[in-house]
Amino acid sequence: MNKVERDVSSLMKEGLGRRRIAEALDISVWHVRKIVRSIAGKQGSVSKGKSTRVKPKKIIKQQNASTSKSRGQTKTKVEILSVGIESELESDILTRKPNAKIIVLSDIHLPYHDPNALRIALEYMDDCQPDTIVLNGDIADFYGVSSYAKTKKDALSYQEELDYVRDWLEMLVARFPKSEIYYIEGNHETRAKRTLANRAPDYLSVRDLRVKVQLGLDILGIIWVPESQELKIGNLMFIHGHKARRHAGTTARAHFEDYGCSIIVGHVHRLSVAYKRNKFGNHAMIENGTLCDLDVEYMKYPDWQHGFTEVNYDGDDFSIVQHPIIDYKLITSDKVYVA
């Protein structure tokens, strides 16, 4: 690896996208893209300049998650469940070893994230190499199309935010070439859609105006889960969340009352795990943390926590490990991550 490749690799680990890297190194975006592909190729993820990421197949919605064993491996069925929509949905049946690992990131609010907290999360992921990454909503902020009063003096335009998030997603794909990535639509990803619905509803029918298209998720091989659907992996439901309660744990419990199954939500920027046993078994109610800037202009001392969630699977069964990042320090059993 030459010096430029080392510099690009180092800036990727800082969480920068290709445009920011190009500015930092005073080279073209095209040059950065070529180097990123070269780095990924050396890791065995790219051949002849094209990603080897598997595009999702289309299958008819399944009623229940199940497992089957073949050639010593366990197949964990992934469902994207429709809400009021009868159509074939983009989904896939993932084949994993019993100890499949998922990392859940939510509420990053790019570009208004906390760089140090995000850097720690990515460095931990470098070490654990997750089989699947679930981006559980509000990865983007899209402040430019918010209906709220604009008070940020240095706010980016909507197009600049799209470019920033696209760059970050490109970095994520290149950095974790072996990970399947799901992007669940959060309420911030729907900001542009709501603005169009209020001001120019006819434009909602234009396919190129969908966030999925504007972020180029199909090109990147990232599976989009719109707000009208839910993602279920094994016995755990992943949703961004549409309710917010005051205290930690109560938001996940409110969603559990709606769905009646183990569930992980984002949205409230808090870390929490609670369990419930009833006639139908044991259930987990999980709230994922945030990686956004905790210093916001509209609230003093918000009750938010930096952190993310790790899910380890044995077939459809799972266990939860939450990783709080406190004062920019993540403590694990064998390593301390500090920004």
Cα–Cα distance for residue pair 170/174, rounded to 1 Å: 6
The residues facing 110 across adjacent strands are: 140
Is 95 a residue whose pLDDT tops 80? Answer: no
Which residues contact residue 11 at a Cβ distance below 8 angstroms, ignoring those fewer than 6 apart? 20, 21, 24, 25
pLDDT score, position 47: 39
Of 141 and 168, which is predicted with more confidence? 168
Name the percent of the chain lying above pLDDT 90: 45
Q: What is the pLDDT confidence band of residue 319, given thresholds at 50, 70 and 90? A: very high
Is 98 a residue whose pLDDT tops 60? Answer: no
pLDDT score, position 102: 96
CA distances from 229 to 43, 57, 185, 186, 263 (A): 34, 17, 9, 11, 14
Of 149 and 116, which is predicted with more confidence? 116
The answer to pTM > 0.85 is no
Cα–Cα distance for residue pair 83/183, rounded to 1 Å: 17
Average pLDDT over residues 56-69: 38
Of 151 and 74, which is predicted with more confidence? 151
Average pLDDT over residues 98-119: 90
Is 44 a residue whose pLDDT tops 80? Answer: no
Average pLDDT over residues 43-64: 41
Average pLDDT over residues 240-268: 91
The residues facing 317 across adjacent strands are: 314
pLDDT score, position 338: 94
- The pLDDT tens digits for 218-253 are 999 999 998 888 899 999 999 999 888 988 889 999
Is 207 a residue whose pLDDT tops 50? Answer: yes
pLDDT score, position 67: 40
Of 107 and 153, which is predicted with more confidence? 107
Give φ, ψ of 168 to 5 degrees. Answer: -65, -40
pLDDT score, position 30: 66
